Homo-oligomer: A and B are copies of this chain.
Amino acid sequence: MDKKYIVLLTDFGNDFYVGQMKGVMKNICKNAEIIDLTHNINPQNVLQAAIIIDVSYKYFPKKSIFVCVVDPLVGSNRKIILVKKEGYIFLAPDNGLLTKIISCDAKIYKVVNNRYFLKNQISYTFHGRDIFAPVAGFLARGIKIEKICKRIDKKEINYIYFPKVEIKRYKNKTYFFGKYLFSDNFGNIITNLKIFKGNLDKFFLYVYYRNKLYYKLKLKHFYSEVKKDELLALINSFNYIEIAKNCGDAYKEFLKKFKDFSQINFVLVKNG
C-alpha cells in the first residue's frame, strides 16, 4: 500500500500532548508516517498558523494529510473542517486557520461522523487527540472522506483577516506600509510585506514606532552582507520581508525598545 504522511502543525510545544496524538494515530494506522511540521506556533495564534501552513505544504509529498490544531475554541460548537486541494488534505478547526489554503479548486467538508472519533472519551479540551488524530488515522488507512465528512460550501466557514499592505505613491517614490506578524527562533522579525520585483538597491525599510523613526535599513539578500550585530532587512525563505541581526537576535533588540509590536510600522520605500 502507498505510504501515507500525516503532517502535524500545532501550538502544543514540547508537552506530551503531541505524543498522545501520535499514539492514537499509530494505533489506527501502523503504516502512516507522522512528520512534525512544527508545534511551536505561539499559543492560540491562528494567524501565524495560517501563514505557516500556506508557505509549507507544497514541500510535502502529494496525498499528505495536514493536521492543524491551533484551537482556542475547542469544546465549543465550532466545526472541524477538512479541505482537499491539489491532492493534499487539510484538517483544522473552523477558525480561519485554512484561510490561505481555500481557493477555487478547494473542496470543503465538515467532519461529522463520530464513529471515527476516539471511543468513549471525547474530552472537551483535547480534540487533537480525541477527534483530529483518529480521523487522520482513518484517512491514512484509506477510509473515504465522504464516510467521515459532509461536503459544505465555502460560505459556511470562517476566515481570518490578514493585515493588508497599504501602498502609496508620492513624489516619485512608492511606499508600502507593513505590520509585524511574528518572529522565529533566531529572533528574525517577520512582517506582512511580501516579495516584489526590482533592484534591491532601490529599496529601504524604515521602522517607525508611534510615528518616531527608529531604523533605516538597507534591503539585502542574506545575513552576512552586513557586519556582525548589525540589523538588516531581507526577503526571507518564504518570501516575506523580515528584519534580522547578523549573528544576533533582532527580536530581543526590538523587545528592549518597543512595548507593543502592533504599534510598529514597517515602511518600505522604493525610489523611482
Chain A residues packing against B (C-beta within 8 Å) = 3, 5, 7, 9, 11-20, 22-24, 26-27, 30, 33, 35-40, 43-44, 52, 56, 59-61, 64, 72-76, 123-126, 129-130, 184-187, 221-225, 234-237, 246-247, 249
Contact = CB atoms under 8 A, between A and B. Distances in A.
Contact of A19 (B11, B37, B224): B37
B16 A14 contact: no
A35 B23 CA distance: 8
Contacts of A56: 16, 19-20, 23
A60 B20 CA distance: 8
A247 B38 contact: no
A72 B224 contact: yes
Main secondary structure of the interface of A (DSSP, over half): loop
Nearest to A246: B72
4 nearest interchain CB pairs? A75-B222, A13-B185, A126-B237, A19-B37
Contact of A74 (B20, B72, B222, B235): B222
- Which residue, of A9, A130, A185, has the highest number of chain B Cβ atoms within 10 A? A185
A125 B237 contact: yes
Nearest to A76: B224
Contact of A36 (B19, B38, B184, B234): B19
Contacts of A60: 23, 26-27
Contacts of A27: 59-61
A24 B40 CA distance: 20
A38 B59 contact: no
A224 B16 contact: no
- Which residue, of A15, A33, A129, A187, has the highest number of chain B Cβ atoms within 10 A? A15
